[in-house]
Amino acid sequence: MDGERVGERARARTRTVTVAADEGLHARPAADIVDTVAQFDAEVRIEPVDDADNDDGDRDDDPVAATSVLAVTSLGVASGDDVRLTAAGDDAAAALDALEELLATQRAATEGKRETDSDSPSESTT
């Protein structure tokens, strides 16, 4: 069994992504992260990337499970901050791809605005 665990750790993948959401990782983006992770067979952890210029002690720099909205919001990650994603499991690469797309775009921050924009009538060409 120990060999199995060592093999699993060896397959862990890591990716660093800059958070684009205007408000950082507040409740909605954190919920989007949790929902995204739930779609994959992977254990995902998230942590802020240590920044020597931002060592003010205001946030928790330990990695947390990306399956908990409370844990993700407790990281205190702001817009423009880098986070490190670590994933292990059969879908690790796919989970990281999906999370990178989510975090590196404004989708999480502007989801409600886009729904409103899409309600406008489209022009008919008939």
What are the residue numbers of the active site? 26
Residue 77 contacts residue 35 (beta carbons within 8 Å): no
| Closest alpha carbon to 51 in 61, 42, 66 | 61
| Closest alpha carbon to 44 in 22, 21, 13, 70 | 13
Helical packing angle, 107-118 and 92-103, nearest 10° = 70
Residue 92 contacts residue 77 (beta carbons within 8 Å): no
